[in-house]
Amino acid sequence: MDIKEYLHRDSSSKLDLNAYLQRIGIADYMAISKTPSLSSLRTIHRHHVFSVPFESLSMHSGEKIIFDIGWIYEKIVLRKRGGFCFENNGLFLWVLQQLGYQPRVLSSRVRIKVTDVYEPPHSHIILTVELEGRRWLCDVGFGDGILEPIPLEAGWEGEQDNGVYRLEVEDEWHLQKKEDEVWNTLFKFNLEERTFEDFRERCEHYQTSPNSFFVQKSFCSLHFPDGKLTYIGHRLITTEYTKGGGSVKTTKELTEEEIPALLKDKFGIVLSGKLTPKED
């Protein structure tokens, strides 16, 4: 959708919680607890990461991402797209607010694995909620991250379908994932509360800077209980999880002509503009 066209609409008044729940495979509002509960939070979190892709396709198909919850809702819920962290966790923030969870917004710094360097502040948005006397970390917008909320407790360690995670406190809090028996930090953060608006500048940077991972690579990934499917450039990578945080990967090379049908069949995505595959 053209930006000028969007700005002349009032989509914020059309946000529908039931439509979101149906988008993530939950029949309707009555299918979850009427009051905030850990069980419902886990259900919504898991359904989101199993239904909404983590993707950068907007940057490679001529679409501008507008930093606005109404626009994000329209993209993910009505057009059945995915998005990067500001979109996925931004929408999840709205959902939790509507359901009475009183979420808090935190800023984190993503670790670049190949260089062991951390991105600047506000490079990744995460959420926390308080339930049953504990504080829980939520994140539906990290491609290789948690599938359900984890307790925000120093030293916590636990296994999820896609790997083993832990929280360590050094200079800051570190969310780590075990890979080949080595603990690698995914991102680090502190507990200073932020607002969604604080991430506007980084959202613009990541969709325009030539140094941005999202600009450098056209990708789309989606979790499943026993694996993950990832499109990137001209490849489709199928990951099958094994016990203890391991995985087995298979790769298929794609022609440019095959990609639109693959995105539709595997991810439910139909782009409004022509995709330019990229993996530099």
Q: Which residue has the tokens 């962290």?
A: 85
Q: Which of these is catalytic: 45, 60, 139, 220?
A: 139
Q: Which of these is catalytic: 45, 48, 60, 85?
A: 85
R_g (Cα) of the chain, nearest Å: 18
201: Cβ–Cβ under 8 A, 6 or more apart, which residues? 122
Name the strand (E) or helix (H) holding 144.
none
Q: Which residue has the tokens 């800051």?
A: 172
Confirm whether 122 is a catalytic residue.
no
Q: Are 168 and 155 in contact (CB under 8 A)?
A: yes
Sheet holding 227-232, edge to edge: 54-55, 219-224, 227-232, 235-242, 246-253
Task: Tell how far CA 209 is from the center of its chain.
Answer: 20
Confirm whether 85 is a catalytic residue.
yes
Confirm whether 139 is a catalytic residue.
yes
- The residues annotated as belonging to the active site are 85, 124, 139
